[in-house]
Structure 1
């Protein structure tokens, strides 16, 4: 490996690891294509629907490498993502409660895979969310992905 290639690799690795906090976004376009490389000439992996949360793990020009809730990595154009934050239920069933307390009233139960809008990005043990039907409440952070 040449010295310039070695230093470029080291710089790229540092850029990936120095990001600090996770950078989550949601698909903002009606859908986006996820590729195996940062190019429309890459192999298409799958189509991500509007609202799907993704974690940005790397940037390359107008492209971002993202991780989905299943841990799969793929590339997409950054223009298709939105700063609006959604989370996805990863537990079999998550209870959305009226207050951040296990004894608070249950407002709704969300099955695995249901999208919820993140109302407050300050996540602790409980996260404030809102369902597309307008129901707003709190869910345990351990039961969702995207924070």
Structure 2
């Protein structure tokens, strides 16, 4: 004998419909992002350059003039806007231009205090200001960001591995946590 299902009530039915609508909007939003070439990732965000030669253009297409050329893979840049398959980026000096999306990597890197002159930044063995000093890094040293707790980042590179105050890095946001 068939049994009647219990009534869900108007609020439970509306909640289920709202959830279904949110799921559909998420799917539609992702499809729209893919169709227009944007990534769907948050803007702004930090990324790094994939290649040793990356053209930075005045606008978001190949007909635009090349404003300058990066010549070092791994440099961190900040994505400040997206247009189709192009990303407007800002470098450590504040210069902005457009780069084709495939020239960028999600790998997180950072430059040690490129704004400092004639000073070094202390690299520590542990993520605290009293930890043993393991090295002193020159401004502009490039490293891979391993993790950040909002105050210190573990940074590694050629011949070094340790913790740097997060405020001394270009390539991470203040208080950003990276696992």
TM-score between both structures, scaled by the size of structure 2: 0.66
Consecutive unaligned residues of structure 1, counting only runs of 5 or more, are 1-18
Tell whether 2:63 aligns with 1:37: no
* C-alpha distance after superposition, 1:85-111 (max 9, x if no partner): 100012442111101122211112111
In the superposition, relative to structure 1, how do residues 115 and 94 fare at CA in structure 2: closer, same or farther (>3 Å)? same
Aligned mates of 1:60, 1:20 — CA distance in 2: 13
Tell whether 2:79 aligns with 1:52: no
TM-superposed deviation, 1:141: 1.0
Aligned mates of 2:62, 2:43 — CA distance in 1: 29
Higher helix share: 2
User: Matched residue pairs, number?
Assistant: 127
Aligned mates of 1:80, 1:132 — CA distance in 2: 23
Higher relative contact order (CA 8 A, sep 6+): 1
Candidates 95, 99, 106, aligned match of 2:126 = 99
Higher strand share: 1
TM-superposed deviation, 1:33: 0.8
TM-score between both structures, scaled by the size of structure 1: 0.79
Secondary structure (helix, strand or coil) at the match of 2:87 reads strand
TM-superposed deviation, 1:40: 2.1
Larger of the two Rg values belongs to structure:
2
Aligned mates of 2:156, 2:52 — CA distance in 1: 20
1:145 matched residue in structure 2: 170
- Matches for 1:85-124 after TM superposition, within 5 Å: 85-90=108-113, 91=116, 92-120=119-147, 122-124=148-150
Aligned mates of 1:111, 1:95 — CA distance in 2: 9
